């Protein structure tokens, strides 16, 4: 009887472990994104390149909010740090794109350290407000030094400064696959991180900070590292945006750009590896289609009300799918990362 029971249990045992399923899912996503470039029209493949960069931005935000439980309203500062670190290095230091990328990433790391050390002296709502203040200070700094940053107008990065390892990244195909490579690296990095001991500690802090402290974990150190990782990934997205799309402007440092990754993560599913991509795709096309609908079917004085349409959809989604799209899927398929 015992052997029969063991045999019956074996029949219900999944053929693939949770870790193998997770790896296969991430590989499948990257392969699908690779193939989509050849299947989609030019307009949508161009959109998808932009979406992949913004999804990296959302991944960075997800490390802090989704896995650590820290609500930040200042991630535009990290995005802009990478963007302006790269752009200003190209404009004024006369360096090669590779060196400018390094300067952009270093700028994001430095800003992340400063913000982390100071903002983590607070908790809860105070943390949210302090990060918002940092972001607003960054935005005002961009405007203050308009002689160099060109303020709201921004500046273009010449095509000759967007050639990396012999590839002209102003060309659509090269731009798309560069964005895909960055996305794939960040996706697998996050997948590894959340299954590591450090990642599991972040989740423990999110779920019950006091219990994690009682178990002997250095809460502040883990939170600071999470801020630095989060800020660096967001800065990498800023560098990529400037490099691939050839523009840096103050609008990317504004508060709106701190709200966007929060929406991407909430809609896609906080604390999931695939949620940021799902949320970014949905939000990008929600705004795009709402704008088209408003222009086509509403009178000229109401054409700018497209955000009202998007807002109603977002409210309905947060009411009926509070865990986001990936959260809904994970409630059915427990193995989803």
- Domains of the chain in sequence order: 17-332 (1.10.3470)
Predicted local distance difference test score (pLDDT) of residue 304: 65
3-state DSSP call for residue 100? Answer: helix
Cα dihedral across residues 38, 40, 44, 50: positive or negative: negative
The radius of gyration computed from the CA coordinates of the chain, to the nearest angstrom, equals 21
Q: Where is mean pLDDT largest: 110-114, 295-299, 313-317? A: 110-114
Question: Which of 153-162, 187-196, 228-237, 317-326 holds the top average pLDDT?
Answer: 228-237
User: So what's the pLDDT on residue 309?
Assistant: 74
**Stretch 223-228: mean pLDDT, rounded?**
97
Instruction: Compute the distance between CA of residue 143 and CA of residue 3 in angstroms, rounded to an integer.
Output: 74
Residue 184 and residue 54 in contact, taking contact as beta carbons nearer than 8 Å: no
* The pLDDT of residue 4: 46
Q: What percent of the chain has pLDDT over 70?
A: 92
Nearest of 60, 13, 18 to residue 337 by alpha carbon: 18
CB 153, CB 249: distance < 8 Å: yes
Report, as an integer, the average pLDDT of 79-104: 94
What pLDDT does residue 188 have?
A: 95
Which H or E run contains 156?
strand 155-156
Instruction: Work out the average pLDDT over 65-90.
Output: 95
Q: Hey, what are 264's tokens?
A: 């991407």
Whether the predicted pLDDT of 76 surpasses 70? yes
What pLDDT score was predicted for residue 131? Answer: 95
Over residues 196-218, the mean pLDDT reads 93
What local confidence, expressed as pLDDT, does residue 5 receive? 47
Tens digit of each residue's pLDDT (9 = 90 or more) over 262-308: 999 999 999 999 999 999 999 999 888 888 777 777 666 555 666 77
pLDDT confidence of 33, banded at 50, 70, 90? very high
Report the interhelical angle of 75-88 vs 124-144 (nearest 10°): 30
* Secondary structure class of 102 (helix, strand, coil): helix
Q: In angstroms, what CA-CA distances link 16 with 23, 25, 220, 262, 335?
A: 11, 12, 37, 33, 10
- Measure CA of the first residue to CA of the last residue in the chain; give whole Å: 37
Mean pLDDT of the chain: 89
Alpha helices in the chain, H assignment, sequence order: 2-12, 18-39, 42-62, 75-88, 97-119, 124-144, 146-149, 172-195, 197-207, 209-214, 219-245, 256-268, 275-297, 306-320, 324-332
Residue 7 confidence (pLDDT): 46
170: which residues sit within 8 A by CB, 6+ positions away?
159, 162, 246
Q: How confident is the model at residue 1 (pLDDT cuts 50, 70, 90)?
A: very low
């Amino acid at each position: 009887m015992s052997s029969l029971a063991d045999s019956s249990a074996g029949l219900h045992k999944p053929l693939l472990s949770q870790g193998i399923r997770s790896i296969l899912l991430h590989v499948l996503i990257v392969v699908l994104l690779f193939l989509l470039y050849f299947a989609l029209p030019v307009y949508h493949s161009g959109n998808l390149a932009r979406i992949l960069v913004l999804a990296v931005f959302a991944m960075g935000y997800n490390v802090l909010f989704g896995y650590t439980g820290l609500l930040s309203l200042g991630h535009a500062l990290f995005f802009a740090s990478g963007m302006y670190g790269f752009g200003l290095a190209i404009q004024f230091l006369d360096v090669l794109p590779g060196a400018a990328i390094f300067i952009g990433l270093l700028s994001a790391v430095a800003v992340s350290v400063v913000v982390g050390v100071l903002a983590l002296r607070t908790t809860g709502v105070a943390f949210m407000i302090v990060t918002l203040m940092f972001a607003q200070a960054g935005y005002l700094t961009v405007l203050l030094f308009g002689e160099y940053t060109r303020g709201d107008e921004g500046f273009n990065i010449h095509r000759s400064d967007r050639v990396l390892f012999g590839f002209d990244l102003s060309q659509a195909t090269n731009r798309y696959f560069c964005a895909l490579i960055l996305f794939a690296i960040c996706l697998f990095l996050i997948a590894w991180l959340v299954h590591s001991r450090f990642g599991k500690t972040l989740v423990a802090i999110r779920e019950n900070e006091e219990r994690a402290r009682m178990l002997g974990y250095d809460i502040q150190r883990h939170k600071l590292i999470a801020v630095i990782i989060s800020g660096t990934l967001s800065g990498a997205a800023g560098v990529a945006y400037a490099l691939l799309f050839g523009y840096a402007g103050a609008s990317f440092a504004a508060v709106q750009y701190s709200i966007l990754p929060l929406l991407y993560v909430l809609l896609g599913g906080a604390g999931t590896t695939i949620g940021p991509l799902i949320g970014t795709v949905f939000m990008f096309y929600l705004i795009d289609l709402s704008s088209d609908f408003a222009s086509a079917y509403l009178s000229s004085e109401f054409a700018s009300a497209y955000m009202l349409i998007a807002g109603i959809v977002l409210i309905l989604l947060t009411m009926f799918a509070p865990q986001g799209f990936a959260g809904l899927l994970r409630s059915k398929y427990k193995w989803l990362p």
